[in-house]
Amino acid sequence: MVSFLVYYGTGVGQTATIADRIVGVLTDRGHDATGVNAVEKPADLTVEEYDSVLVGASIHGGKHQQAVTDFVTANRDALSGRPTAFFQVSMSAATEEGKEQAAGYVEAFLDETEWHPDRIAQFGGALRFSGFGFLKRFVVKQVVKREMPGLDTSKDAEFTDWQAVEDFANDVAAFVEGRLGVPVPAANAGVGNAE
């Protein structure tokens, strides 16, 4: 069994939802996975207590959450000593035209933190109009009308490819299992095995 830390920053909650799905996939594989929101990080949290670390951040205004950047920078040496992965959530990643821009955000983050994760993924985010204040909702709707014509801005919209999220989590798990020489654990071992 591998112990995974899934550390993330979130703006409107979509990165938290994605992190929860990743934790679920890792747990279903029989591993111990813990999700930690950067703004709720326990003071005694250390990277060294985990076999592998996944870091997630979303893009807002062209930047990742500062708490995530600070965490990676402060823990760069510990991260380099174990299998790691980075996932980014953005609206740019939701469209073919925006994927290059999204890749630029990843590159800038990795350059700034001088971190070299083993696996990287980008996922589309969500537009939670219902959670925005009047001014932000107005501005975002104007941008969406220009960038995503035809999108119904009267309701929230989600652009996350959940199969891609699960595939990423399984790929990271398989990579870590192989790198650490850990046999693939049987999920729910012992359940239903009465003889």
Question: 93 Cβ partners below 8 Å, 6+ apart?
Answer: 99, 102, 122, 123, 124, 125
- What is d(CA 12, CA 33) in angstroms, rounded to the nearest whole number? 23
Could you tell me the residue ranges of all domains in the chain? Answer: 3-125+160-180, 127-159
pLDDT at 187 exceeding the cut of 90: no
Q: What is the pLDDT of residues 100-150, one digit of tens each?
A: 888 999 999 999 999 999 999 999 887 776 777 777 766 776 676 667 667
Taking the model in full, what pTM does it have?
0.86
Question: 150 Cβ partners below 8 Å, 6+ apart?
Answer: none
Q: At the fourth CATH level, which superfamily is domain 3-125+160-180?
A: Flavodoxin domain (3.40.50.360)
Q: What is the pLDDT of residues 147-181, one digit of tens each?
A: 766 767 677 777 799 999 999 999 999 999 999 99
Q: Which residue has the higher pLDDT, 185 or 107?
A: 107
- What is d(CA 17, CA 21) in angstroms, rounded to the nearest whole number? 6
pLDDT at 85 exceeding the cut of 80: yes
Q: What share of the chain is helix, strand, coil (3-state, %, to 5)?
A: 45, 20, 35
Question: 161 Cβ partners below 8 Å, 6+ apart?
Answer: 123, 124
